[in-house]
Structures are given as structure tokens and as C-alpha cells.
Amino acid sequence: MTANELMYARSRQAQAGARTPPDSEPRPSGGAAGLFVGRLHLSRFRNYPYLRLDLPERTPQVVLTGDNGVGKTNLIEAVSFLAPGKGLRQARFQDVLPAENPTGAWGVSAVLRKGAEEIEIGTDYEAEARGRRSEKRRVRVNGVAGTAQSELGRVCSAVWLTPAMDRLFSGDPAGRRRFLDRLTQAFFESHASACAAYARAWRQWGALIRDGKNDERWLSALESTMAKYGALAANARRETVRLLQNALDKNETAFPRASISLSGGLEDEISALSVDEARDFIKARFVPAREAYARTGVAGGVHTADLTAFHREKNMPAAGCSTGEQKALLISILLAHVRAQADAKNALPLVLFDEVAAHLDDGRLGALLDEIRGLKTQVWLTGTDGRSFESLKNTARFV
């Protein structure tokens, strides 16, 4: 049984009222282990030919200030590469190389504290590896090369808010799906792998149908793959939404309380099914979808899931809220995600806020900084005006 399948079974036990095994039960968040970067090295990373940043032990906040274009976002993007995924910009790894000389390799390494443990993480990307263009970044943890992204997720996770996300709820559903999948990865370390396997099979399935290659054996094999990984991905997303909603409901903050839900991705239909039943259900949907996809190029499924949010106080969908209110809802969800990780994993992520003061009035910004001071993990913030972060002057390292 894979890690995702084990989590699927345990979440179904919990929903049915059964006790989950002791090693999976949430532990109190009060003792959750925070993450703290102590030393950070960059090499040929965007506009940084080389950088070494040393921070006092367990620095609670790191504030990066300066004019636009000096590299503040580039620096926290480098921090985001200490966790699984493609970083806070979702950029091609090739594009992270210096623009004036996009060849060779870039690298990021850091020493982190997690509770009493010291962890060394390094990651790099080489544009031409063994004569071929590379599409993957390499990861090593505590000197062990070839660490899988899922293993990296067990060591370090990160959550972030960037200006590109300010109108997430009124934008493309694909953006919300990527956002949810990043949140889900924190609880289900194999989630990204499941989504990638599903996506590869989906592309091949679609290409076969578009090209009129009705090879029943090949189509059926791809549908089995999509059913297997689709069931795991759908359950992981649904369980993540449940954990987030619990955290949103339990905690009072100065930010609006959201109701969040999933739509369009079969999550409701398979919620009461076992792993095998969910696979069979999803696979059965693809056979009649072949003809419809051949005509329209459209077929529903796990790949069409959407995250929706509702502003309780205003009694309106997040998509209809102002940019400032949407950002406040996102902050509320991200803070809930931090608390949910503390409860479910007894661990806290790195938290990254890029240009966080934009679209927040003084009251909301002050409330956020109050929340940040209460987090027991390291928070990185960027902004053009250091005065916005004056209330952190006694605890933060300003760079």
C-alpha cells in the first residue's frame, strides 16, 4: 500500500468514527516543531551571482525591503525551493538561471533548524546534463543525493502568498487547483507524484482519441492509471479541505472566516467509497467519455476540480469580493493551513509573504503582523517600505 493509499484508508476511518492508528493521530500544536533557516547560500540564482546569508539562531522573522527590482522576490523564491515543487513563481527551472547567461547550473543550499534537529538541504539545476536539456532539479538532504521530492516534503514544507495570488478566487480554476495541490502536498507527500502520473496518462489518453487511435487495450490501460491516481488525488484534496475547514472554524483571527469546498472533480461522488470502489467508479466514467471527448475535446474528472471559497461575514462568494477582501480570505486560509499542519503533523512550515502590504489597509496589516509574531516558525516578508514592518523591529532580522 502506498503512502497516499494509507492516508486514504485512515481518512475514511476517521470520517466513519473509527480511531486511526496511534502513529497517525494529530498531536497538540503547542509543541509543533517550527522551521528556521540559519544559513542560506545562492549560486547563479536569477540576479544573484552568489549570496551567503547568515541569520541568528531561530530568527522568527526575516524582512526584506528595498526598491522594486533589487531581488527581494528572487531571494524568497530561493527559500521556496527548499520545499518540494517549482517554487513560488512556478517558473521553468531554466528561467531561474541569470538572464544574461542562461547556461550552466544554479543552486540553493541552506542549514535549517527543526526542533532540536539540524538539517542541510541543497538543490540545484543544470541546464545541460549529460548533453541533454534537463527538466528536473536535483535535491540532497543531509548530504544524501537523489532525494525524492516526496521525501523532501517530510523534511521541509513552505506556504506562501504572492501578488499574483491576490485575485485567485476570481481567476482561472487551474490557478486555484494548483494552489490547493500545494496545500495538499503538505499533508500527502506523494500527492504531487499522483497528480503528475494522472496528468501524463490524461494527455496520452486525449492524444489517442484526437488522433482516432481506438486501441482498446491502450486506452483501457491509461484509464486504469487515471483511475488509480485520480482516486488518490481526489481523496487527498478532499481531506485537505476538511482539515483546513476545521482549522478555520476553530480559530478566531482578525481576518474573515471562509467556508471552502470542492466542486467539479468527482470528490463528492467518491467520498463514501473505498479505494477500490473509487478506482472502479472513476474508470467507468472514462469509457462513455471517449465519444464526447472526440467531439468536444472536453471531459470532466479529477483534472477539473475547483476550490471555491465563501466570505461568511459578507455572505458572498470570494469571487465577488474586492481584491483586498480576497487577499484577506487567502491570508485566513494560509494561517489555517499552518495551524492544520501543526495539528496533523506536529510540524510547522516556512511562511513566505511577498509584497504583503499591497491591498491591505493599516488595520489588516497590523493584524497580520500580530498573527505572525504568534507563529512558532520562521516567516519571510518583503516590501518596499520598511516602516510597514515597524512592529517587528524587536524580533525580525531586516535585510
Using an 8 Å Cβ cutoff, are 103 and 127 in contact?
yes
Residue 112 lies in a domain: no
Q: How do beta strands 396-398 and 61-65 pair?
A: parallel
- The pLDDT of residue 135: 73
Q: What percent of the chain has pLDDT over 90?
A: 77
User: In this structure, is residue 61 part of a structural domain?
Assistant: no
Domain membership of residue 288 (yes or no) is yes
Per the structure, the complete domain to which residue 260 belongs is given by 1-31+183-322
Question: Given strand 316-317, what is the order of strands in its sheet?
Answer: 258-263, 306-311, 316-317
Output the average pLDDT for the chain. 89
Asked, for residue 23, whether it belongs to a domain, the answer is yes
* Domain total in the chain: 1
Amino acid identity of residue 82, one-letter, is L
Do the domain assignments include residue 286?
yes
Q: Which residues contact 55 (CB under 8 A, 6 or more apart)?
A: 36, 37, 38, 39, 40, 62, 397
The sheet carrying 158-161 orders its strands as 158-161, 350-353, 379-383, 61-65, 396-398
Buried/exposed 181-202: b ≥16 CB within 10 Å, e otherwise: bbbbbbbbbbbbbbbebbeebb
CATH number of the domain at 190, please: 1.20.1050
Q: Which residues contact 382 (CB under 8 A, 6 or more apart)?
A: 63, 64, 65, 72, 73, 75, 76, 353, 354, 355, 356
Is residue 24, in this structure, part of any structural domain at all?
A: yes
Whether residue 249 is contained in a domain is answered as yes
Residue 371 covered by a domain: no
The amino acid occupying position 16 is A
- Per-10-residue mean pLDDT of the chain, 399 residues long, equals 48 42 35 94 97 96 95 98 94 92 93 95 84 79 89 93 94 95 94 95 96 92 96 94 96 89 84 88 93 91 94 95 94 96 95 93 94 96 95 95
Per-residue pLDDT, 26 = 32
